[in-house]
Amino acid sequence: MKPFGTMSGYSRRFSETASLWLMVWLALLLPAPAHADAPAEIIGSRFVYTAGAGDTLARVGARHGLEPAVLAADNGLRADSRLKAGQQLVIDNRHIVPERMIEGIVINLPQRMLFLFKGGVLVHSYPVAVGRHTWPTPTGAFEVTALERHKTWIVPRSIQNEMRREGKPVRESVPPGPDNPLGDYWIGLSLPGYGIHATNAPASIYGFRTHGCIRLHPDDAANLFALVRRGFPVRIVYRRILLTDAGTAGVFLEVHRDIYREGGKAFKMVQQLAADEGLSGRVDWREAERMARREEGIARAVGR
């Protein structure tokens, strides 16, 4: 006879199957994805992800473009929870496209997302890391001026001074290799000293972590590098409140933290944006107020 409390092989398999179906069921309870009649307005999706060895909430969030705390909350976990290989997570990484271009790159800083357009079509979107609140990434219209592989990092004087203040070894340059924070790909911008580049710290993606440059996962940097050219337009914007009419799926809202402290109450900004877009009468304002308060940074349905 088996000791009380142990599970037979059949019971264990039943439990594992039930857990899988529970995760899928939870995913289905989340707001429905945008309808196909608005494919370019909302990117990302809702799906079940199986954690691999070494995965953490921060790593998974960095790769898929969502805050670790939001990922934890969506899965009923604590923010400091450790993941196990094989553990299943519901991921909702939908984002609203902030604006469109015929050809070029749009980077929205609060959103920490990069959007690549060609022929008026959104062809790729990537999570990025941008400037920390004490070293913000500038906004404006720029263009690609350089494309370099395995670039030597010439450390700016300002960063050398920071190294000195923090008691770190002061370096004037870092050659290509695993210690180079630029990774293997550098896309220089017409804003001197700034660029879009790969990284030797992939877990830092989707954070406010840089000295102003835009940092990509190495795989995404390789992909983007092959698709742009010198003269390619780049527009960097700061839009923390995003609202869109997704057709039959209803109205979607995305609210981000005001990391650069540009000001404005989130809920009042949502109300103004809805009025400007003629959507005020279609918004569930209780849900919109909840989202404005939580600032999760994910596109969620707020239609009545």
**Residues carrying an active site annotation:** 197, 213
| Beta strand spans in 103-192 (E) | 104-108, 113-118, 121-131, 140-149, 153-154, 173-174, 185-189
Place of tokens 């439990």: 15
**Are the C-beta atoms of residues 69 and 79 closer than 8 Å to each other?**
yes
Secondary element (H or E) of residue 157: helix 157-165
Which alpha helices (DSSP H) does 30-97 contain, by range? Answer: 57-64, 68-74
Find the radius of gyration of the CA atoms of the chain.
21
**Are the C-beta atoms of residues 65 and 127 closer than 8 Å to each other?**
yes
Alpha carbon 256 to its chain centroid, in Å, reads 11
Q: Which of 263, 291, 302 is nearest to 70 (CA)?
A: 291
Alpha-carbon span 24 to 17, nearest angstrom: 11
Q: Which residues, including other chains, have CB under 8 Å from residue 26's CB and lie 6 or more apart? A: 75, 90
φ, ψ of residue 233 to 5 degrees: the values are: -70, 145
Phi-psi region of 111 (alpha: psi -120 to 50; beta: other; left: phi over 0): alpha
